[in-house]
Amino acid sequence: MERRFVVDAMLGRLALWLRLTGNDALYSPQTDDNELISTAQREDRILLTSDKDLYRRAEKTGITAMLVRGNVDSEIAQVFAAFGIPARVDPNTARCSKCNGPLTHLKGPDKERVRNLVHEQTYNYYDEFWLCEDCGSVYFQGGYWRNITEYMDRIARMISEMNNQSRS
């Protein structure tokens, strides 16, 4: 069974990292509380919220919800720990961080599809790209990839610290 999420307007960074780690996470900053509740019900999604009132309402409605509080890093670590999400980004399973769309892996001659979507230098330099079929965003393992990896390492360390604390 696939676990899917809907994320409230305050948790944009969390939504981004859920998508990059391959989780289906709906997020739109314009979505109001009623829409969040009805989306969670209709699509059987777990509601992640930083709003206590919304959390209580969700629980009364019978929706699976999690109250997520703290700074951004700890919010991400809490949710990953709670749902056993590995803090690792694999571009072959990642979803588009911008729109939650699925990514298509393009390698070798298939990369032709992104020729007009990236700078020429980038196109020539990289052999592999990942294209979002919904919004046309293109991903490749450029300089920012290191930042992604470093950030996930940091979240992984926070999760293992949380686990150690709960054991002792």
Q: Output the smallest distance, CB 135 to Zn ion, in A.
A: 3
Indicate the pairing of strand 128-132 with strand 46-49.
unpaired
Q: Rounded to an integer, what is the distance from CA 85 to the centroid of its chain?
A: 11
Given the rule CB under 5 A, which of 40-48, 89-97, 115-123, 148-156 is the region that contacts Zn ion?
Answer: 89-97
Between 25 and 132, CB nearer to Zn ion = 132
At position 2, the amino acid (one-letter code) is E
Pick out residues in 94-153 that bind Zn ion (CB under 5 A).
96, 98-99, 101, 132, 134-135, 137
- Residue 81 Cβ, how far from Zn ion at the closest point, in Å? 27
Looking only at residues 33 through 62 of this chain, which bind Zn ion when binding is defined by CB under 5 A?
none
How far apart CA 85 and CA 77 sit, in angstroms, is 9
State in angstroms the smallest separation of the CB of 45 from Zn ion.
19
Q: Which of 38, 64, 66 is nearest to 51 (CA)?
A: 66
Instruction: Compute how many residues bind Zn ion; rule: CB under 5 A.
Output: 8
CA distance 129 to 106: 5
Residue 74 or 137 with smaller CB distance to Zn ion: 137
Cβ 94 to Zn ion, closest distance in Å? 11
Nearest residue to 9 via CA among 20, 39, 1, 23: 39
Alpha-carbon dihedral sign for residues 20, 46, 70, 79: negative
Q: Give the footprint of Zn ion on this chain (CB under 5 A).
A: 96, 98-99, 101, 132, 134-135, 137
